[in-house]
Amino acid sequence: MRPTQAPFPATRLRRTRQSPALRALTRENSLSADDFIWPVFVRSGEGIEEPVPSMPGVFRRSVDKIVDAAREAADLGIPAICIFPYTGLEERTEDCAGAWDPDNHANRAIRAIKAAVPEIAVMTDVALDTYNINGHDGFVENGEIVNDRTVEALVKMTLSQAEAGADIIGPSDMMDGRIGAMRAALESEGHQRVMILSYSAKYASAFYGPFRDAVGASGALTGDKKTYQMDPGNSDEALRLIERDLSEGADMVMVKPGLPYLDICRRVKETFSAPTYAYQVSGEYSMIQAAAEHGWIDGEKVMMESLMAFKRAGCDGILTYFAPAAARLLNKQR
């Protein structure tokens, strides 16, 4: 129970705000480089660092450059990097076989990072969209995104990533039953140490627009993802999904997008006390960058304020394209 506060003037709540020292002493939440997972985009070729037009400050990198990025992240104290493949239309097929090819760009990037920068944790993306000719996260049969056949493919994809050395598997596909199937396969194939961070509460969101451009999926996607990603009007359903994924063997759970769904982050953390992450997605990032480029907001301050909001909402960490910029700033302030 909350004790009654002495009335004014015995209680003056401004007392704790009067100086940087007293504000630091009474601050309830804090941010550090430890809180970040940095999503990066890998593509074919060598020596390539190609800007993503819809995401100022974000690049598609060839494997050698991803290794440099991983080293930079580790030096900044960022504990994990998350690999997304960029695939051109010519690399996409209906059977999505590239997804579990041990030598696809993503798996080559995992191997190269684990060889050169073993101290950074590597997270993956499990979904068919970046290998699928029609941009969907699952197989499409007669216009329907089919569940169980997709889960079989996602399990193959998971195992190829675990074999490449991934530390954290990141299923972003929203099919039913995938976490249990992945966990069983990881156990039986000798990958007991591999973690799963499930995109459990992933909404069908227009905030993913710039990402689809970054991975080459915007031209490819036919229709929308509403039959598998969540309806933005729902909140209880997020709790059911999180409970289901934890019971199937997820080690950590995610809410996505981030800022527009902080109410979900708070409910999830309070209900399950499990390691809870939010994804500050591409649209959230690009809105801040665009407004900052116009001089309408102070980009650095808004970046830090937006990241602190996730901690306040109860998140243990944040997937954010701002990770290196924010870590650099935080390290300087220390």
Catalytic residue annotation: 202, 256
E strand or H helix at 283: helix 282-293
Place of tokens 């459990």: 200
Name the one range near ligand PBG by CB under 6 A: 91-99, 204-212, 233-241, 267-275.
Answer: 204-212
Place of tokens 């798996």: 107
Is 136 an interacting residue with respect to ligand PBG (CB under 6 A)? no
Q: Which of 125, 167, 213, 245 binds ligand PBG (CB under 6 A)?
A: 125
Is 212 an interacting residue with respect to ligand PBG (CB under 6 A)? yes
Nearer to ligand PBG by Cβ, of 221 and 329: the residue is 221
Q: Which of 100, 208, 228, 322 binds ligand PBG (CB under 6 A)?
A: 208
d(CA 192, CA 202): 26
Nearer to ligand PBG by Cβ, of 211 and 277: the residue is 211
Q: Tell the smallest beta-carbon distance from residue 106 to ligand PBG (Å).
A: 12
The SS3 call for residue 19 is coil
- Contact between 248 and 283 (Cβ < 8 Å): no
Q: Tell the smallest beta-carbon distance from residue 247 to ligand PBG (Å).
A: 23
Is 213 an interacting residue with respect to ligand PBG (CB under 6 A)? no
Place of tokens 């695939």: 87
Q: Tell the smallest beta-carbon distance from residue 193 to ligand PBG (Å).
A: 24
The SS3 call for residue 112 is helix
- Contact between 224 and 205 (Cβ < 8 Å): no
Torsion 206-212-214-215 (CA) sign = positive
Q: Tell the smallest beta-carbon distance from residue 71 to ligand PBG (Å).
A: 23
d(CA 259, CA 11): 33
- Residue 216 φ then ψ, to 5°: 85, 20
Residue 226 burial by CB count (10 A; 0-12/13-18/19+): exposed, middle or buried? exposed
Is 172 an interacting residue with respect to ligand PBG (CB under 6 A)? yes
Name the one range near ligand PBG by CB under 6 A: 15-23, 101-109, 123-131, 268-276.
Answer: 123-131
Q: Binding residues for ligand PBG, how many (CB under 6 A)?
A: 11
Q: Which of 41, 131, 211, 228 binds ligand PBG (CB under 6 A)?
A: 211
Q: Tell the smallest beta-carbon distance from residue 279 to ligand PBG (Å).
A: 6
Nearer to ligand PBG by Cβ, of 116 and 302: the residue is 302
Structure tokens belonging to residue 25: 């002493």
Could you tell me the CA-to-CA distances from 192 to 159, 169, 189 in Å, in that order?
A: 12, 12, 8
Nearer to ligand PBG by Cβ, of 281 and 313: the residue is 281
Q: Tell the smallest beta-carbon distance from residue 230 to ligand PBG (Å).
A: 11
Torsion 144-98-320-135 (CA) sign = negative
Q: Which of 137, 167, 213, 245 binds ligand PBG (CB under 6 A)?
A: 137
Is 37 an interacting residue with respect to ligand PBG (CB under 6 A)? no
Nearer to ligand PBG by Cβ, of 137 and 167: the residue is 137
Q: Tell the smallest beta-carbon distance from residue 111 to ligand PBG (Å).
A: 21
d(CA 262, CA 255): 8
- Contact between 241 and 219 (Cβ < 8 Å): no
* Window 264-303: residues binding ligand PBG (CB under 6 A): 281-282
- Contact between 113 and 122 (Cβ < 8 Å): yes
Where on the chain is the footprint of ligand PBG (CB under 6 A)?
A: 125, 127, 129, 137, 172, 208, 211-212, 225, 281-282
